Structure 1
Amino acid sequence: MEDKRTLRKKYLAARANLDPKKRSGASRIIAQHALSWPLYRSVKVTLLYASFREEVETWDLIRESLKRGKIVLLPRTFVEEKTLRLYQIMRPEKDLSPGYAGILEPRPDLPEATRPPEIIFVPGVAFDVHGGRLGYGGGYYDRLLKEYPEAIRVGLAFGVQICPRLPLEPHDQLMDFLITEEGLIRTRCGPSP
């Protein structure tokens, strides 16, 4: 089995090589799959992320979730503590500003979230159908997911990011579901949808 560094390079390249129009179209389809999912429609508090570079674009999902009356949380990165903290946003175009590595994050003057997320949408470099996730190497999401064990964990990915099996370490947190342009995938550790 290839090591994490090799796999990270391979899957980042696969994602980057997607045609930008195809990537945008697939992102819209992924958002629609999420929005039409009965389980997602039933939750009130959702944690999303501001997509960056070639990640699955989350702007449609953020805006539509707000329109539907959901409480939308986004993370802010605290590098010194190696943690993510959650903040409620209401107006993405005004509530976000460039943060760590230029990623859009909730502005520092916003109050921290007071309610825990019921569902967490997670970015990643690669995922597998067993629930494995390969992140960017900082461990931020693994630490965050450990804080909210009751939340449903959903990896958002393009089909080219799904691999047969990822090498996992004890601290790696598993996904319950994956959503790609092909639809919803319940992982081996996920509850019934």
Structure 2
Amino acid sequence: MPQSVPSKQQLRRDLRARRRALPAIQARAAAQALPALLRTLPDWPHLQHVAGYLAADAELDPAPLLVDLHSAGKQIYLPIIQPDSSLLFAPWTPGEALQENRYGIGEPARRDTLRGAAELDALLLPLVGWTREGRRLGMGGGFYDRSLACAATVLKIGLGYSVQEVSLLPADPWDIGLDYIATGEALLDCRV
């Protein structure tokens, strides 16, 4: 008998609750482990333009990784939500001024040099849920899927806790998969 898959809405509710229930010490340890994990990527030396995000709603915090990327001389970008609900990415240096978007999430105040996802080498994506095959569940706005639709070559790295792993996720035709998932405990290659 085939296994039934809960709706995306139900999964989001359950997985966000799991994420919020994670002890703070465990969440910090996962965030601190990200730089060492990502340095093991075969593509690491070639990644120069990397977009991240600012953690919200108990997401795995990429801040230590963004600082590490900056220290390694890589250009960091953060997403800026566009009127069409796609994302463009603005250069950002840790500590630079931010302004809140309509969701209360900081975006770079400096917007003079925006890039599309196709102009990046890698994109770090926040995860609500994920599978080992690289399927991802986000918050449901479609921002990343819209932005990645024309960016086939960008390396897509999902950041999420191991408690967010599920065996099955409902899929829509527009869903964009991941190349890697970093949990703070492991770096998983979804392309194999």
Name the TM-score, length of structure 1 as normaliser. Answer: 0.90
CA distance in 1, matches of 2:6, 2:97: 40
SS class of match (1:26): helix
* Aligned match of 1:177: 180
Answer yes or no: is 1:165 the counterpart of 2:168: yes
How many Å apart are 1:166 and its aligned residue?
0.7
Deviates more, 1:132-141 or 1:46-55: 46-55
How many Å apart are 1:88 and its aligned residue?
1.1
Answer yes or no: is 1:23 the counterpart of 2:23: no
Answer yes or no: is 1:88 the counterpart of 2:95: no
Identity rate, percent: 25
Name the TM-score, length of structure 2 as normaliser. Answer: 0.90
Q: Is the 8 A contact 1:35 1:61 kept in 2?
A: no
Which ranges in structure 1 are unaligned for 5 or more consecutive residues? none
| Number of residue-to-residue matches in the alignment | 187
* Aligned match of 1:52: 56
CA distance in 1, matches of 2:65, 2:160: 14
* Aligned match of 1:40: 44
Q: Deviations over 1:90-109 (max 9, x none)?
A: x3212422223111111154
CA distance in 2, matches of 1:67, 1:116: 21
Q: Is the 8 A contact 1:129 1:165 kept in 2?
A: no
How many Å apart are 1:85 and its aligned residue?
0.9
* Aligned match of 2:99: 97
Query: 2:81 corresponds to which letter in structure 1?
Result: T
Q: 1:77 to 1:127 in 2, by over 3 A?
A: same
Counterpart among 133, 146, 149 of residue 146 in structure 1: 149
Query: 2:75 corresponds to which letter in structure 1?
Result: I
How many Å apart are 1:110 and its aligned residue?
3.7
Q: Is the 8 A contact 1:124 1:156 kept in 2?
A: yes
Q: Is the 8 A contact 1:130 1:165 kept in 2?
A: no
Q: 1:61 to 1:100 in 2, by over 3 A?
A: farther
SS class of match (2:9): helix
Which ranges in structure 2 are unaligned for 5 or more consecutive residues? none
CA RMSD in angstroms comes to 1.7
How many Å apart are 1:186 and its aligned residue?
1.2
CA distance in 1, matches of 2:187, 2:111: 36
